[in-house]
């Protein structure tokens, strides 16, 4: 492996014009294909294998067009204190709004709340539903403005008017200024790490090129494979993150080889052969984690994972070819100013990384206990994890959607915002209407159900749908228990009525998704961790190092999940992050944490421990190998972790609670894994294990193929570095 990549790096350096133009041509070709490709399809969230999805599919089949209605706006009216919406002036203002809203160019219907009996018992609150002919993304500005003017007229009449639904929903920024600050911090970290603008800019440049190619590919293949722009969101984030990381390690190793006295082309080859080998295996661990998302069973998540895996593979290829090629154009520019002036220190002197490693090697037990106990304490809140899908209740009170949610809950009860949709299949029943009436009556008598709506039949008269309003809010655990109770009673109710029914709706769908994701988490963990252990076994040729790496990851990801629960579910420090409402953790959050953080954690593991393994193979003792590994790679690993934390932290400034949650979870996970697990627990464990850390049974050693990540073969083939002073080596490259 090392020899092959060494040759690839030298070839890319020598044929830099060809390699660079080739990548530019690829970008141009893929970009042209993306521009000419048909428009990407709308996102469709489906979850095969759950009851809510089966019921939704039945609705689409028996009620054509109903399940895919256009945008809607639920307009909530609240009378002034002491008044009622049924008062003459208030009623006139509401009816005027409904009439004006119905005249909109894209409006399908506007329901009069008084005719539909959509008025609370105390007459303080009413609501009207305005349905459009098109989806929210297709609404024209004129249609939105028409509705907003009608709402303003009702407000001037003295009513409090708030709007829910997706027609006029505010779209919070992904990160805003905080994300820009995160990217700026990443640039500063690169500059401080390398002390050179060229060295800091090279990883950013190549990473952006890779993201451009991967996103263009997603757009070009969108129509053929059902990919949308949203599919590429994860690909963009990880393509940028891994692209910077991988180029960072190659450039850092190139500078190190130049410092040793190697000529530029030789240094590029050695960087590709050693750091490049680590990049290949680190990239493969990320790909395993992302491709493994397919086991969850969510088509959208599978597409996102595969697209992101492709972006990571692209980042690996770019770091192995384009980075050495660009180094060929400016071989001296990436060196620090001191190195260019010939004032840089040569040799293996002490630095912060080696000093920290010596401290850990001398005191491994206290460091290990402190790290494990600390992360264990952080993981405790994860025992109370509640999964769900936060809706309008998790938005800021500054949004009209949140205020509309609160007004409806106050006027009609907390369960009004999350009704359960009951779909009755009465195709085999002798009397469909009486059968549906029996089922409706039984469900209405269930504890926890406040009311049921009149049933609505399809044109064939063999299928009916009605809603059941729970007594508790959509995210309450009692609502989850109610859904399960209704389903458990189904066999008895169905046998008596002669028909079957299923429970769906947004609330039931969120409950089913949370349960399916929770059930898939263990198989997913077993898959990615198992495959990664095999891969790391090939890389490090050790039984204990891969096992230690996997256990360390589990500890860091559990601690990160515990921190997310503590803030977003239990509310500790939530105000500091601008979280307005605590609640269940987003259903996909554990999967995202496991998949993304596992890939990044194994990146740091491979880059850090491979330098220790390299030193050990070249003759250092176990303790000295740890110190040598930290001397050469600790600073770069810290820089990579800080960059990731800065980028992920940018999402904390987003307006949506779910985006805040993802940003916080990923940032805190990188903090725990890079600085506690990899920089403290890993050297402490390796120090305690000594030579046993690198033990591999002889029979297994014979079976496993040799990857030579450490570049052992290169030490025998590559000529010794020149001994001229640094200034003599700063010459143009032919």
Identify the pLDDT of residue 537. Answer: 86
Distances (CA, A) of 211 to 35, 39, 202, 493: 16, 20, 14, 55
Instruction: Give the mean model confidence (pLDDT) for residues 676-700.
Output: 90
pLDDT tens digits, one per residue of 55-80 = 888 888 888 765 445 788 889 999 98
Partners of 127 in the β-ladder: 76
Which carries the bigger pLDDT value, residue 581 or residue 374?
A: 374
- Residue 42's contacts (CB-CB under 8 Å, 6 or more residues apart) are 135, 137, 228
Instruction: For residue range 206-238, list pLDDT tens digits in order.
Output: 888 988 898 888 888 877 776 766 677 778 777
Nearest of 129, 112, 117 to residue 76 by alpha carbon: 129
Model confidence at 282: pLDDT above 70: yes
pLDDT at position 24 is 93
Q: Is the pLDDT of residue 173 over 80?
A: no
Place 275 in a pLDDT band, splitting at 50, 70 and 90: confident
Higher pLDDT, 499 or 567: 567
b/e per residue 105-117 (b: at least 16 CB within 10 A): ebbeebbebbeee
Measured CA to CA, the distance from residue 319 to residue 537 in angstroms comes to 24
Averaged pLDDT score across all residues of the chain: 83
- The pLDDT tens digits for 100-113 are 998 888 888 888 99
For residues 250 and 44, what is the distance between their CA atoms, to the nearest angstrom?
Answer: 40
pLDDT above 80 for 182:
no
CA dihedral 84, 88, 93, 94 (to 10 degrees): 60
Percent of the chain topping pLDDT 70: 88
Percent helix, strand and coil across the chain, each to the nearest 5? 65, 5, 25
Higher local confidence (pLDDT), 402 or 183: 402
Q: Of 524, 641, 591, whose CA–CA distance to 288 is shortest?
A: 524
Q: Is residue 563 within 8 Å of residue 376, measured between CB atoms?
A: no
Mean pLDDT of 423-451: 87
Q: Is the pLDDT of residue 169 over 80?
A: no
Distance CA 218, CA 505 (A): 31
- With tokens 């194994």, the residue in question is 602
The pLDDT value recorded for residue 734 is 46
Say what the alpha-carbon torsion angle 577, 580, 585, 591 is, to the nearest 10 degrees: -40
Q: Cβ contacts of residue 141 below 8 Å, gap of 6+?
A: none
Mean pLDDT of the 575-597 span: 79
Judging by DSSP bridges, how do beta strands 463-470 and 585-586 pair with one another? Answer: unpaired
Q: N- to C-terminal Cα distance for the chain?
A: 27
Regarding predicted confidence, which is higher, 340 or 545?
Answer: 545
Give the pairing of strands 125-132 and 72-78. antiparallel
- Kindly report the backbone phi and psi dihedral angles of residue 701, in degrees, each rounded to the nearest multiple of 5, phi listed first: -60, -35
Q: What is the per-residue pLDDT for 325?
A: 94
For the segment 702-725, the average pLDDT, to the nearest whole number, is 64
- pLDDT at site 715: 61
Q: What is the pLDDT of residue 484?
A: 92
Query: Please, are residues 687 and 623 in contact by the beta-carbon 8 Å criterion?
Result: yes
Is the pLDDT confidence value at 727 over 50? no
Classify burial at 90, counting beta carbons within 10 Å of its beta carbon; exposed 0-12, middle 13-18, buried 19 or more. Answer: buried
Q: pLDDT above 90 covers what percent of the chain?
A: 20
Paired sense of beta strands 500-504 and 420-425, if any:
antiparallel
| pLDDT tens per residue, range 499-554 | 888 998 888 888 888 888 888 888 888 888 888 788 888 878 888 888 888 888 88
Taking the C-alpha atoms of residue 153 and residue 149, their distance in angstroms, rounded to an integer, is: 6
Q: Is the pLDDT of residue 36 over 90?
A: no
């Amino acid at each position: 492996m090392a020899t092959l990549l060494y040759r690839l790096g030298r070839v890319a350096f020598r044929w830099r014009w060809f390699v660079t133009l080739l990548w530019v041509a690829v970008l141009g070709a893929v970009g042209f294909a993306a521009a000419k490709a048909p428009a990407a399809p709308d996102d469709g969230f489906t979850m095969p294998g759950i009851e809510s999805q089966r019921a939704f599919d039945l609705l689409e089949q028996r009620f054509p067009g109903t399940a895919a209605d256009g945008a809607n706006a639920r307009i909530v009216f609240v009378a002034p204190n002491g008044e009622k919406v049924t008062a003459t002036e208030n009623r006139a203002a509401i009816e005027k709004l409904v009439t004006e809203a119905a005249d909109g160019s894209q409006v399908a219907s506007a329901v009069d709340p008084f005719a539909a009996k959509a008025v609370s018992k105390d007459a303080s609150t009413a609501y009207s539903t305005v349905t459009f002919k098109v989806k929210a993304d297709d609404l024209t500005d004129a249609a939105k403005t028409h509705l907003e003017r009608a709402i303003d007229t009702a407000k001037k009449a003295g009513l409090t008017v708030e709007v829910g639904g997706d027609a006029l929903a505010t779209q919070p920024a992904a990160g805003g200024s905080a994300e820009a600050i995160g990217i700026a911090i990443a640039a500063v970290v690169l500059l401080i790490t390398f002390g050179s603008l060229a060295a800091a800019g090279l990883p950013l440049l190549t990473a952006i090129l890779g993201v451009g190619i991967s996103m263009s590919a997603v757009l070009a293949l969108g129509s053929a494979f059902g990919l949308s722009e949203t599919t590429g969101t994860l690909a963009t984030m990880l393509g940028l993150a891994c692209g910077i990381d991988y180029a960072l390690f190659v450039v850092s190793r190139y500078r190190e080889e130049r410092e040793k006295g190697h000529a530029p082309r030789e240094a590029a080859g050695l960087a590709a052969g050693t750091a490049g080998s680590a990049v290949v295996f680190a990239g493969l661990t990320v790909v395993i984690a992302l491709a493994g998302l397919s086991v969850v069973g969510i088509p959208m998540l599978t597409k996102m994972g595969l697209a992101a895996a492709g972006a990571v593979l692209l980042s690996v290829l770019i770091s192995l070819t384009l980075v050495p090629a660009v180094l060929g154009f400016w071989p001296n520019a990436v060196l620090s100013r001191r190195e260019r002036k010939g004032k840089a220190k040569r040799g293996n002197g002490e630095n912060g990384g080696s000093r920290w490693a010596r401290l850990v090697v001398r005191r491994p037990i206290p460091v290990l206990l402190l790290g494990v106990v600390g992360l264990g304490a952080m993981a405790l809140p994860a025992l109370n994890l509640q999964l769900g899908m936060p809706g309008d209740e998790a938005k800021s009170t500054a949004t009209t959607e949140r205020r509309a949610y609160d007004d409806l809950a106050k006027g009609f009860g907390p369960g009004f915002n999350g009704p359960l949709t009951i779909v009755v299949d009465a195709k085999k029943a002798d009397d469909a209407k009486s059968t549906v009436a029996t089922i409706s009556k039984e469900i209405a008598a269930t504890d926890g159900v406040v009311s049921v709506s009149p049933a609505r039949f399809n044109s064939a008269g063999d299928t009916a749908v009605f809603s059941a309003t729970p007594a508790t809010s959509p995210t309450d655990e009692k609502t989850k228990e109610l859904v399960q109770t209704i389903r458990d009673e189904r066999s008895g109710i169905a046998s008596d009525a002669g028909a079957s029914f299923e429970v769906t709706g947004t609330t039931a769908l969120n409950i089913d998704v949370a349960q399916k994701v929770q059930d898939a988490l263990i198989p997913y963990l077993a898959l990615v961790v198992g495959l990664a252990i095999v891969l790391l076994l090939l890389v490090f040729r050790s039984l204990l190092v891969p096992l230690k790496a996997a256990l360390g990851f589990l500890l860091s990801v559990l601690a990160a999940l515990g921190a997310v629960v503590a803030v977003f579910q239990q509310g500790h420090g939530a105000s500091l992050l601008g979280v307005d409402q605590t609640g269940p953790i987003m259903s996909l959050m554990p999967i995202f944490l496991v998949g993304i953080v596992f890939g990044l954690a194994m990146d740091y593991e491979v880059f850090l421990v491979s330098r220790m393994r390299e030193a050990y193979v070249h003759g250092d003792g176990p303790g000295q190998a740890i110190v040598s590994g930290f001397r050469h790679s600790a600073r770069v690993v810290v820089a990579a972790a800080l960059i990731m934390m800065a980028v992920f932290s940018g999402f904390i400034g987003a307006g949506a609670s779910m985006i805040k949650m993802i940003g916080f979870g990923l940032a805190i996970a990188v903090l725990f894994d890079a600085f506690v697990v990899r920089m403290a627990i890993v050297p402490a464990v390796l120090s305690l294990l000594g030579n046993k850390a690198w033990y591999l049974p002889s029979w297994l050693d014979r079976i496993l193929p040799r990857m030579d990540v450490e570049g052992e073969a290169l030490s025998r083939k590559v000529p010794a570095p020149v001994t001229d002073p640094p200034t003599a080596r700063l010459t143009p490259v032919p």
